[in-house]
Amino acid sequence: MLREVGFAGFVRENTPALLRTAYLLTGNAQQAEELVQDTLVRLYPKWDKVEAADVPLAYVRRSLSNAYINQMRRGAAREMAFEDVPERTDPHDALSQFADRDLIWAGLNRLSQRQRAALVLRFFEDLSDDQAAAALGCRVGTVRSLISRGLAVLREHMTEVSR
């Protein structure tokens, strides 16, 4: 009974943050919901271990990131959608916001799963390098390398698009 109370409280309190992270990883709201649900279902039987962690949210976030990376390795959820990037638009035009969003998604789709996870955790979730490393289960130097290489890919993409 105690496990259910702790689990339910955690889910109520942290689902929005987990969904946001999952959405940034997957790029799709439905896949994000499934990723969060699958992660929580997988962690429920060992919830005592999750609660015993220093930061349970970090433990779940790491599990979520690992589940995403493993899912992409299996290739079961590979879905790539690319459209032609529109020509330059008026920066104050509302449609330019959609073009920018499409441009960002196209750039993120060029990254490896680990690079994307590192960038999402570091810049969108505003985690420190140490926290991102803990979430990904790797060293801080590896996170910094993943971020550096991921940003290089994004810069290259932006250069290609601007030509």
Residues 29 and 6 reside in one and the same domain: yes
Express each pLDDT in 115-151 by its tens digit: 999 998 888 888 899 999 998 999 999 999 999 999 9
Whether pLDDT at 82 is above 60: no
Amino acid at 59: Y
Domain presence at residue 6? yes
The owner of tokens 């930061």 is 55
- Check residue 1 and give its pLDDT: 44
> What is the spatial distance between Cα 108 and Cα 21, in angstroms, rounded to a whole number?
14
CATH of the domain at 108: 1.10.10.10
Tally of domains within the chain: 2
Residues 127 and 66 reside in one and the same domain: no
Residues 131 and 73 reside in one and the same domain: no
Domain presence at residue 85? no
Residues 98 and 55 reside in one and the same domain: no
CATH of the domain at 57: 1.10.1740
> What is the spatial distance between Cα 118 and Cα 106, in angstroms, rounded to a whole number?
17
Domain presence at residue 83? no
> What is the spatial distance between Cα 16 and Cα 144, in angstroms, rounded to a whole number?
27
Spell out the residues 6+ positions from residue 19 whose beta carbon is closer than 8 angstroms to its own: 32, 33, 36
Domain presence at residue 145? yes
- Check residue 87 and give its pLDDT: 57
Range of the domain at 50: 1-78
Are the CB atoms for 155 and 103 separated by under 8 Å?
A: no
